[in-house]
Amino acid sequence: MRGVQEHKVSNDPKDFVPSASIPASGRGNSEDGKEWLNPSPNQLYRALKRKKKPIATEDSIDVADVHTAVTDGTWKCIMEYEKLHEAKCPNPTLARFSGKDGIYSFKAKMLNFFGLAPLPFDRHDWVVDRCGKEVTYIIDYYSYENEDGDTQYYTIDARPAHFSGLADRARVAMKKWWNGESIW
C-alpha cells in the first residue's frame, strides 16, 4: 500500500487532504505537479453534489476514506501490469485520468449480459506514462450486494485498453492462474 499522509489546510477535519504517492507526469494536482492527491472530504462532497450524486455532509469523511482506498487499489492493479515492463520503465507515472460514469466498457456489458456481473457503478480511463509511451487503462468499479441489498464488497477491474494490451492481460492472467488466484 502506498504511504498516505494528511495535509492540514484548516482545523475542520473535512478539509484534511490525504496525500498519496501516485506519481504524476508533471500534471498532477499537487503544488509541484509531481503527485496526484486525493480530494478532501469537503472537496469530494462538493464534487458529488455538482455531479448530482449528493451525499450527507456527515458521510463525507468516510466516503473520502473509501475514495482513497479505491484510488490506492486502482494504482496497485495498474502496477501489476506495469511490472511486466519494469526493465524498460522502472518508474511509470499517471499522466491523466477521466471519469466515464454511465459509459460501460465492452467487457462490462458482456459480463452483465451473460449474468456474470452487475453493471459497474463507475468507470474510469487512466493514462499511464511508461517512460514516454502513453498506455491507457480501462477501470470498471463493481459493488456486490448481499440478500438484504447492502453492499457486501467492491472490486476493481483494471486492464490495458485496446488490442495492444492483450498480451499483457494474458501474461497477468496466466501468472494468477499459476499462483492459484482468480483470473477475474
Backbone angles phi, psi at 108, to 5 degrees: -60, -40
Backbone angles phi, psi at 162, to 5 degrees: 65, 180
| Cα angle for residues 13, 19, 20 (degrees, 5° grid) | 145
pLDDT in tens, 133-165: 999 999 999 988 887 877 778 899 999 998 778
What's the pLDDT score for residue 173? 87
155 and 144 in contact (C-beta within 8 Å)?
Answer: yes
What's the pLDDT score for residue 182? 78
pLDDT in tens, 53-74: 888 988 988 888 888 889 999 9
Q: Half-sphere exposure of residue 113, counting CA atoms within 13 Å on the CB side?
A: 7
Confidence of residue 15 (pLDDT cuts 50, 70, 90): low
pTM of the predicted structure, to 2 decimals: 0.83
Confidence of residue 26 (pLDDT cuts 50, 70, 90): confident
Pairing of strands 17-20, 22-23: unpaired
